[in-house]
Every structure is written in structure tokens, then in C-alpha cells.
Amino acid sequence: MTAAVTAPSGRRRLAAALHRRGRLRLGLLLAGPVGWLVVAYIGSLLILFLNSAWSRDAFTGLVIRELTLGNFTDIATNPLYRTVVIRTVVMAAAVTVTCALLAFPIAYYMARVASRRTKGLLVVAILMPLWASYLVKAYAWRLILSEEGVLNWLLGPLGLKGPGFGEIGLWLVFTYLWLPYMILPLYAGLERIPTSLLEASADLGAKGSLTFRRVILPLVTPALVAGSIFTFSLTLGDYIAPSLITTTQFIGNLILSNFGVPDLPLAAALSLVPLVIMIVYLLVARRLGAFEAL
Amino acid sequence: MHDRIGRILLRLGAGAVLVFMYFPLAIVIAYAFNDSGTSVWPPSSLSLRWVDAAVENSGLREAFLTSLVAALGATVIAMVLGTLAALAVAHHRFFGREAISFVVIFPIALPGIVTGMALSTTFATTSFPLGLFAIVVGHATFCIVLVYNNVIARLRRVSASLEEASADLGADTWQTFRYVTFPNVRTAVLAGALLAFALSFDEVIVTIFVAGGVKTLPIWIFQSFRLANQVALVNVAGLVAILLSAVPVYVATRLTSDTGASGRS
């Protein structure tokens, strides 16, 4: 720490100025990240909004930069779009419910049964597949579900058959892909419940199932909602898994097929659909206390 | 008695979920060494034939290097910006402080396709060229939050009195940062950077929108699914992708586990 004495004076003077003027230091710290996020992200969201209110000239294919609500009336009135939106939302809801059901036993085991050591190992064991290449995981299911794949090979001797490619298969794949995003918040939520509450419930004569319904479930609801933000949002925004596993269209495929050459403004307008759905979802989730459980 | 059965069922349920989570990864790894190169299960015999073929394949090699460069670029930007933002939010009270922690998570909380569309329409509208640089910009945007979250979590645990003590003892702003603040957050910055690298290396949903003609490893994989003569290589590429995200994540979790957080120099 003797370096303090020998520091060059110019640097030292700047340091003193920074120390005295907290605002200046704060400004320098924030300029980069805020500049980046506002320009690169908020800015591009605004340009997305702008594009969604533009239109495309049917003959020249060029974007006409005049504001119109044409894209939105198109989306609202075209039955194809409505079907696709409903299908995607139903899928997202189904995946979310399945993830919650599957996540509960393992999250409960991690939070309340496992030893400290096992707990640490399990957290890593859940984290690794969460981060393992998304595309490879989706592709793995293409291999598994294929006609001559593992699933039919396993089920064959039992006289059964896998779901194959299609919406049921996709539901399975989405559930697999987003399951860790549900397990981790749920585990954290279950771990926060004081043991004394469960003991009190048992002392007052509640059976396991009653304690679960009246004590555990209400306390863990924010964590469940927090996990559901991920499972819901990720399903809404995915177009890769649907294109690998099914031939059915979901919102993402619809956006991608209009992206670029066919109709960029329409694609922009369509992508506001998952955005609006997610904003409503986030507002409801905040009401339910999910943000404290993230 | 009842309790014991419940516990056994719970253990079985937890085990079943773990098997469910690792089974598909094991399948890809097994297929990478499948001699026949088809998707018929079980593999007739194992060999390193497709691993060799993958190493020889120039398209695959190029895609791998592109992904590496893109991930490194995005990681460096995210590391700097995420750390700066975390220092600002942790050490200062100011108007809009809450808004920053919200804006930082935005790019990752919204559906990937929204982020992809927003960036690509912006690039199209402003005539910004698509390609490697656009990929780096896009990835950095949603990687900032990973570094930010790790660093801010660490800063919350480090007492502010350490920095005050450093200033009282005559250290200037730089010295305090260099000898006190940075050593404390170093492992958190590194852990965040590793996660950012893993995320960027794998990302495909946003990447497709901004890549132009550039092929990252995930894009190469995505485009090779349907090409009969490349399907066998996809399995090997998948194995590489799994390793290159699993290893950084494993190291990152070790770095942020409580034992590794002392931050000594």
C-alpha cells in the first residue's frame, strides 16, 4: 500500500476529483452500460414498434415508411393468425403446468430432504443441462422420437409406440427444454419455508397432504409463478423446436416466415403479439410477488 | 411408516427427473461415436470415424471458429459493461436505479424472437451490416445481465466499510478499486463471463436474425439437420457444443460457491 505515496500526480488529481464528485464517478460508470442498453436495446424495440406500423408495397416489395394500422387489423381479423396465437398460448400453458408438476418432487427433495453435500451436487446437476446447448437438446429429441429411434426401441417390446413427430412430441420436448428453469426457483422457494411452520402444521394435526395444500403451496406460489415466467416466455418465443419436431406453425414460425423479404413490417407487428402477452404476464406475476422470488 | 413411503417416492421422483434430464444428452454423445452414421438405434458399432470426418470438415471448422470469436467478443463487452453497471448500482443511490436493474434483464426476459426481431429490424432500418459484428452486438446485449447479476450479488455481500477504510488509509479511487474492490469481485466477474460465453456460444434464436450469411456453430448444426451427408457430423458438433457450455458452467458454479468467494489475491 506504499504505492499511494509514489502515485503520479495527474492520475492522483483525477482520482481526487472523482472522489469529491460522486456524480461524475457515477456518470462514468453508467455511461457505457446504460448507453449500450438504451441505444442497442430500447432503441431497437422502438424501431420494432415503428416498423410494425409501416407497410410494404405489394408491387415493389419496398417498405413504405408511413404510419398505418393495417398490419394490426390484418392480425386481428385473419383467422389463421388467431389459430396460431391460440395454439401457441395453449402450448405454453400446457408446458408450464407439466414443468411445475415434474419440478415439484425434485425441488422438494433438494430443498428439504437432501444433505448439504447432495444439495450442492444436485444444483450443479440441474444447472449443467440448463446451459448445455439448446439446439443440441432439441436435436437430441429429433433422434429420440424418430421412427427408428430410442423411444420406439424402448417401448417396442411393451407393445407401445412413442408419440413420434407432432404436437404431443413438441409438448414433451418443450417440457424437457424448460424444466430446469422451473426447478431452480421452486427449489429456492421451498428452501425459504421455515421448518417450524411445517412442524406447527403437523402439531396441529394436519396430515401431509393438508400441510401441502394449506401451508407449502401458498408459500411457494411466488416461486412457481417466477418459474412459469421462463417456461411461458421461452415457449412463446421459440421457432426452432417447432420446426424440428412438427410441421405445425407457432407464432415464432409465422414471424420467421414473414421476416426479411416477404414482409418485414408484418413480421414486426406479429412479434408484438408475444411481447404484449409477456408484458401482461409479467404484470400479473409481479402482483403475485414473483419478482421477489426470481 | 407413511412418512417413509413418502420419502422413497420422493427419491424415486427426483431420480426419474434427473434421468429424464440427462438421457437426451447421453443419446447425442452415443450417436457421435456411432459407426453407421444413421439415426437407427441402437448403434451397430462404435468408432471415431465421424469425429475424424468432423475435424476434416472445413465448413464445420469455420463455424466453430466463428462461434468462438463471436462468444469471446460478446463476453468481453458484457464483462466490462456488466461490471460497470453493477458497481454503479451497488455503490450509488440515484434516480432511475431501479429502472437499471429492470432494463438489464429485459433482453433476456422477453421471448428470444422479440429480441431477434427488434435487433434485425433496427439493423435493416439503419442499414447496419449483418454478420459477425452484428452477432457480437446482439449477444453482448443479452449477456450483460449474466455478469451484472453475479457481480452485484457479490458486491452486496462485501461490506462497504472495506472501501471506506481503504480511502481513510490514503488510497485513491484507483488504488481502492485495484487493491480492494476488484479482488473482491474478481471471481464473480469471471463466473459471469463464463456464463456469458456459454450462452453466446450456443445462442441460435437471436443469432439467425442478425447473422446475414455468417454461420456460427449452432447455425451450421441447424442447417445440417436436413442434409443426409452431414447428419452424422451434427452429432459430433453437438458433442463439442455440449462440452463447451457444460465446462464453463461447471467452473462458474465452483467460482461462485461460498467456499471460492473469499477473493484473496
| Domains in chain A, CATH or no CATH each | 14-52 (no CATH), 78-287 (1.10.3720.10)
CA distance B64 to B217: 5
Average pLDDT of the residues of chain A: 86
pLDDT in tens, B2-50: 678 888 888 999 999 999 999 999 988 888 888 776 777 777 777 777 7
Is 70 exceeded by the pLDDT of residue A2? Answer: no
Q: What local confidence, expressed as pLDDT, does residue B42 receive?
A: 77
CA distance A204 to A216: 15
Q: Searching chain B, which residue's CA lies closest to the CA of residue A227?
A: B109
Which cell goes with B198?
456459454
**Closest Cα in chain B, distance from residue A165 (Å):** 15
Query: Bridge-partner residues for A56, per DSSP?
Result: A63
CA distance A76 to B4: 55
Give me the mean pLDDT over the A11-16 stretch. Answer: 76
**Closest Cα in chain A, distance from residue B2 (Å):** 9
Q: Which of B109, B256, B104 is nearest to B185 (CA)?
A: B256
**Closest Cα in chain B, distance from residue A79 (Å):** 22
Q: Searching chain A, which residue's CA lies closest to the CA of residue B196?
A: A131
Closest residue to A106, CB basis, from B13, B107, B141: B13
Answer whether A150's CB lies under 8 Å from B35's CB.
no
State whether A148 and B39 contact (CB < 8 Å). yes
Q: Within an 8 Å CB–CB cutoff, is residue A131 touching chain B?
A: yes
B94 interaction partners in chain A (CB closer than 8 Å) = 26
Q: What is residue B93's DSSP assignment?
A: -
pLDDT in tens, B46-86: 777 778 878 888 888 999 999 999 999 999 999 999 999 99
State whether A4 and B175 contact (CB < 8 Å). yes
B265 interaction partners in chain A (CB closer than 8 Å) = none
Q: Within an 8 Å CB–CB cutoff, is residue A281 touching chain B?
A: no
Q: What local confidence, expressed as pLDDT, does residue A260 receive?
A: 65
State whether B205 and A274 contact (CB < 8 Å). no
B258 interaction partners in chain A (CB closer than 8 Å) = none
pLDDT in tens, B90-128: 888 888 787 887 788 888 878 889 999 999 889 988 888
List, in order, residues 6 or more apart from A99 with CB less than 8 Å away. A175, A178, A179, A181, A182, A227, A228, A231
Chain A 12-41, residues with CB within 8 Å of chain B CB atoms: 12, 15-16, 18-19, 22, 25-26, 29-30, 32-34, 36-38, 40-41
Q: Which of A20, A95, A136 to mutate to test the interface with B (most CBs of B within 10 A)?
A: A136
Q: Grade residue B264 by pLDDT with cuts at 50, 70 and 90.
A: very low
A278 interaction partners in chain B (CB closer than 8 Å) = 109-111, 114
pLDDT in tens, A226-267: 899 989 999 998 999 999 899 999 999 999 888 766 688 888
Q: Within an 8 Å CB–CB cutoff, is residue A129 touching chain B?
A: yes
State whether A264 and B121 contact (CB < 8 Å). yes
**Closest Cα in chain B, distance from residue A207 (Å):** 10
State whether A50 and B257 contact (CB < 8 Å). no
Closest residue to B137, CB basis, from A33, A40, A127: A40
Give me the mean pLDDT over the A47-73 stretch. Answer: 82
Is 70 exceeded by the pLDDT of residue B258? Answer: no
State whether A133 and B87 contact (CB < 8 Å). no
In degrees rounded to 5, what are phi and psi of residue A25? -60, -45
Answer whether B173's CB lies under 8 Å from A25's CB.
yes
Q: What local confidence, expressed as pLDDT, does residue B40 receive?
A: 74
Q: What local confidence, expressed as pLDDT, does residue A242 receive?
A: 93
Tell me the C-alpha to C-alpha distance, in Å, between residue A241 and each of A177, A247, A279, B116: 9, 10, 23, 16
CA distance A155 to A135: 25
| Cell 395453449, residue located | A90
Instruction: State the count of interchain CB pairs (< 8 A) between A and B.
Output: 271
Beta strands in A29-83 (DSSP E): 55-56, 63-64
